[in-house]
A and B are shown apart, each in its own frame.
Chain A
Amino acid sequence: MTKSLVYMCYFVLYTFFILWFGKSGFNKTRSTRDFYIANGSLGLFTSISTFGGTWFSAASMLGLTGSIYAFGYSAILYSVIGWFFGAFLIVLLANKFKEYSIVTMPEFFKIRYGSTFLQAAGGLVIVIGYVFYIVIQIKGFGIIMTKLLDIPYSLAIFLVYLFILYTTFGGLYSVARTDIINFLLIVFGSLLSGFIIWSKLDGLQQMHLQAAVIDTEVIKNSGFYTIKGGLLDPFAKGLQPPILLISSFFGWGLGLAANPQYAIRISSARDKKTALNMVGITILILILVYFSNLIIGLGSRILVPTAVGINSIDEIFPYIIDTIFSTHYGGLILISIIAAAISSANSQLLILASGFCNDIYKNLFNPSINDEKFLNLNRFFVGLGGTTSLLLALNPPASLLIFGAKIWGVFAAVFLIPLYGGVFWSKATKAGALAAFIGGLVTSLPFYIAKVGYKAITPITTDYVVNPALPGVIASLILFILVSLLTQNRGGRMQL
């Protein structure tokens, strides 16, 4: 059987399973609570699957693996450690957040602070942020489909519609059911890839000794060379300096902690214990999965010191699959990368639709809209949001990992302080939350627009030396505390 035919078989099989598992959501979804949070009914296994499936996106599967290939251990410091710390903050949040009866994260701002404006502004940030973030998943999907079906990228990304629109139309019931398949594929695909690469190496010590002497060009004709010893150095021998890594923590780590796609999973879990275990157990599983990614990235660099015929580090993992893996394993692993992209994209489209429909439209203009009309509006917006992301994905970002850090940096700058401050600080006021939200946005925005501190790290990667989330979060925190204290006696304080 030819390679294309084997890949096609895997793809057809995957499509069948997704269609089968996704269809139940259409019948079960009757209300907004069903559509957004599965009526807060998800058990532990389903919660872990959908939390893990949403977490492990194309940025993890393609972006991180490619970055480890290029930068070695410093790529872990750049992303994974911040992500895990963000998960720790989510656990702390889950305990109290679960007590609020909400279907979207910005709705918390309305209940806690009594601010319709803050809910609507939060919804707007979510719509804009996720339209861009879904581009990551579409690009990841496009890269893989190009390999699987041997079709052009621009055509490949249109196929993403089949999956993300179908699974998202059924609401969280559909998303969660398909995420069970997707997360199992992600874990299995990652561990299998790691095992295959590991079997070609001579143990951990030899892998490190061999990686230590690599000083080749990362991608042929890119002009980007690894510095000898850089793959094992926490700062890649200066390519990823400490200030870049520390400030990326604000973008990735705190952005994750304030990210609506994770916060709302707390609401969809059956009870508080399920929500807490969901986060804790998923991260334990992800320690293994990311270790596997490390083996894939570093081991591949030893086996193939220079990648040939590709344009970005996001294409390195598929290139390695094509070069090193047998056709049968390769097909399965490529499908697991698609699963990573789909399982994140459908959750993100759901959040995107809720940002407009619930937090802006229903909140500001039509609070009494009936459930049927509202669900249809959500489905329409899922289509509109998906289409916009698709058009943006025709001109994709150079690095998924760096692009993701920028978007999550915005979430950190605007949501983190009003969210955690509102949950944990009884003296927090509406005026303080508004000041934190606007202050965080206004402080970080010039960095994005004027690209302050945005520099070429290597010939193929450009990043902020100081992630805009760093000044954004600091300004947001200062304003939150000062304005809350100053407005204490003006009726702004709410007792928890």
Chain B
Amino acid sequence: MVADYSWLGLPLKTWFIVIIPWIVTGILPFAAAQIIIRKQKKVMR
């Protein structure tokens, strides 16, 4: 049973398909924004 492989009561499948993509896609816009801002600062110098 998939539910046997779980962490904090949540199936690992759900961690990999829902939780991790949720956090990654949530951080991605901020990370991308900071990279672009830093690149532009370098160009300005």
Contacts and interface: CB of A to CB of B under 8 A. Distances in A.
Contacts of A333: none
Contacts of A212: 3, 9
B8 A85 contact: no
A273 interface: yes
Interface string A255-284: 000000000000000001100110111011
Contact of A209 (B9, B14, B28): B9
Contacts of A234: 13-14, 17-18
A288 to B, nearest CB: 9
Instruction: Bin chain B's interface residue count.
Output: 20 to 34
Nearest to A95: B36
Contacts of A87: 25, 29
A204 B14 CA distance: 14
A91 B32 contact: yes
A451 B29 CA distance: 34
B17 A90 contact: no
B26 A283 contact: yes
Contacts of B34: 280
Instruction: Bin chain A's interface residue count.
Output: 35 or more
B29 A77 contact: no
A80 B33 contact: no
A273 to B, nearest CB: 6
B32 A204 contact: no
B43 to A, nearest CB: 12
Contacts of A204: 8-9
Contacts of B13: 233-234
Given A207-B9, A212-B3, A229-B3, A91 B36 contact: yes
A73 B10 CA distance: 10
A contact face: mostly helix, strand, loop, or mixed:
helix
Contacts of A90: 29
A212 B2 CA distance: 12
Given A84-B25, A284-B27, A233 B11 contact: yes
Nearest to A74: B18
B14 A284 contact: no
Given A84-B25, A204-B8, A284-B30, 11 more contacts: A76-B22, A77-B18, A81-B18, A84-B29, A91-B36, A233-B13, A234-B13, A273-B40, A276-B37, A279-B33, A286-B26
Given A208-B9, A272-B40, A73 B18 contact: yes
A489 interface: no
B9 to A, nearest CB: 3
Q: Which among A74, A88, A92, A272 has the highest number of chain B CB atoms within 10 Å? A: A88
A370 interface: no
B12 to A, nearest CB: 11
B33 A77 contact: no
Contact of B33 (A74, A233, A276): A276
Nearest to B31: A280
Given A232-B11, A276-B33, A277-B33, A284 B26 contact: yes
B29 A80 contact: no
